[in-house]
Amino acid sequence: MSKVRVHISTSLDGYVAGPNQSMEEPLGEGGERLHDWAVALKSWRELQGMEGGEENASNAVVADENANVGAEIMGRGKFGPPDRGPWGGDPWRGWWGEDPPFHKPVFVLTHHEREPLTLSDTTFTFVTDGIEAALERARAAAGDRDVFIGGGADVINQYLAAGLVDELELHVVPILLGGGARLFAAVGPGVKLELVRVVEAPGVTHLTYRVVK
Amino acid sequence: MSKVRVHISTSLDGYVAGPNQSMEEPLGEGGERLHDWAVALKSWRELQGMEGGEENASNAVVADENANVGAEIMGRGKFGPPDRGPWGGDPWRGWWGEDPPFHKPVFVLTHHEREPLTLSDTTFTFVTDGIEAALERARAAAGDRDVFIGGGADVINQYLAAGLVDELELHVVPILLGGGARLFAAVGPGVKLELVRVVEAPGVTHLTYRVVK
């Protein structure tokens, strides 16, 4: 059966975005540094249609996590804009321009209804009836392939707390952010994890956990 | 020059003790599980004067971190008792009985003055004039050897925030505690870290960071 997977970059103090997220700093103050290890990579740049990049142990990790993913679920916070609220007459089309780097169906959790938005080969579908409904739709879209919970922290935490995640990969970056969007906030002790892989790479340590059901 | 070192077990959600620490549960609810990997070890048991135990990759980590340590600094929270406050007429003598497992000078940070307490080959000295004074005294006692900041979280966080730590080793245990004593709380983004070692072992991942000055 297809899996529900999370992979996300986190600071050593447990934040997946810095404080004060804004239009200018979508990842909050200092949050861009969470992704320095990734944007330098050949495999990451390929996914964005860019040339060049480094080859190191992180490349295989990124390739693994993008393999076999059939759909993504993200929160309104990740889709944007930062001030949220109703979509309005000329609604926000995401951070990623006219050719978003997803190349698969994306389900956006929101409190505000909206028609689907197709940009290139990515269709964003807006889901207003909760995380379980979004997962059901993402599973149907993904078929045999996996569903990726793309963040932010609130959405990941909700899926973890509900026992709906099968695999969790943390890209632990050796920085402290001191505040921001906190992974595991209010998830609590009910989730059982088992380490399945450690990969050490420049600027990051990849820790992969299986959620024990 | 001798180093100031921290090593501590932490849950994946960043707690070094669970919620509601008490006489019955000094490490808080669920906090004992942070140390399951250690108490099973031959090297840990030897340090407590116990026989038997497992040999795995964690043994060398524990041996390394206990080597060359000349003094320890701990907070009142670690020394106990959990209700803190003035020492009283028949003062608390620590959690560890008449032969504590430190075998070196220990400096206890407290707001309440008290004469030193010697139990077997460990002398606890109570320091009321702050973390820098405690470090000065611990360095003098340690000579060429290192000073270990033994916790709890508050004390480690204070030394990290003050830029006084040289090396930080986290024993990351794949559990969530959901609350408790949080490592890195309010330490903020000023601390620069560099990963120097990863050791994967049963039930724990050891991540060692150098603090970049």
Say which DSSP state B54 is in: B
Whether chain B has a CB inside 8 Å of the CB on A184: the answer is: yes
Q: How far apart are the C-alpha atoms of A30 and A23, rounded to whole Å? A: 14
pLDDT of residue B43: 81
| CA torsion, ordered B94, B97, B98, B104, to nearest 10 deg | -60
Residue type, B108: V
Which of A13, A198, A205 faces B14 most closely, judged by CB atoms?
A13
Mean pLDDT of chain B: 94
Distance from CA of B3 to the nearest CA of A (A): 20
Whether chain A has a CB inside 8 Å of the CB on B13: the answer is: yes
In the structure encoding, which two tokens stand for residue A204, read together? 């990051």
B5, B147 contact by CB (below 8 A): yes
**Touching B: A residues 19-58, CB under 8 Å:** 29-30
Instruction: Give A30's contacts in chain B (Cβ within 8 Å).
Output: 189
A188, B176 contact by CB (below 8 A): yes
| Whole-complex ipTM | 0.91
For strand A106-109 and strand A69-75, is the pairing parallel, antiparallel, or unpaired?
parallel
Q: Which residue of chain B is at minimal alpha-carbon distance from A210?
A: B174
Whether chain A has a CB inside 8 Å of the CB on B212: the answer is: no
How far, in Å, are B6, B66, B67 from residue B104 at the CA level? Answer: 16, 11, 12
pTM check: above 0.90 = yes
Say which DSSP state B110 is in: -
Q: How much of chain B exceeds pLDDT 70, in percent? A: 100
pLDDT of residue B182: 97
Q: How far apart are the C-alpha atoms of B47 and A76, rounded to whole Å? A: 52
Q: How far apart are the C-alpha atoms of B74 and B141, rounded to whole Å? A: 15
Cβ–Cβ below 8 Å for B205 and A194: no
DSSP string, A37-100: HHHTBHHHHHHTT----B-SHHHHHHHHHHTTEEEEEEEHHHHS-TT-S---SS----SSTTS-
Confidence class for position B36, pLDDT limits 50, 70, 90: very high
In the structure encoding, which two tokens stand for residue B91, read together? 């003062």
Residue B209: pLDDT over 80: yes
Residues B85-143: tens digit of each pLDDT: 899 989 999 999 999 989 999 999 999 999 999 999 999 999 999 999 999 999 999 99
Confidence class for position B17, pLDDT limits 50, 70, 90: very high
Q: How far apart are the C-alpha atoms of B103 and B8, rounded to whole Å? A: 19
In the structure encoding, which two tokens stand for residue B26, read together? 């000094």
Which of B18, B174, B200 faces A193 most closely, judged by CB atoms?
B174
Q: How far apart are the C-alpha atoms of B173 and B13, rounded to whole Å? A: 9
Q: Mean per-residue pLDDT for B186-206?
A: 94
Chain-centroid distance of CA A145 in Å reads 17
Whether chain B has a CB inside 8 Å of the CB on A180: the answer is: no
Which of A30, A183, A205 faces B198 most closely, judged by CB atoms?
A205
For strand B181-182 and strand B122-127, is the pairing parallel, antiparallel, or unpaired?
unpaired
Q: How far apart are the C-alpha atoms of B163 and B170, rounded to whole Å? A: 17
Using 70 as the pLDDT threshold, list the residues of chain A that sit under it: none
Residues B163-188: tens digit of each pLDDT: 999 999 999 999 999 999 999 998 98
pLDDT of residue A155: 97
pLDDT of residue A161: 97
Say which DSSP state A35 is in: G
Cβ–Cβ below 8 Å for A176 and B186: no
Residue B154: pLDDT over 90: yes
pLDDT of residue B126: 98
Cβ–Cβ below 8 Å for A189 and B172: no
Q: How far apart are the C-alpha atoms of B17 and B25, rounded to whole Å? A: 10
Q: Mean per-residue pLDDT for B43-60?
A: 88
Q: Which SS3 state, helix, strand or coil, does residue B46 take?
A: helix
Nearest to B174 by CA among B20, B57, B34, B17: B34
Nearest to B15 by CA among B33, B36, B38, B37: B33
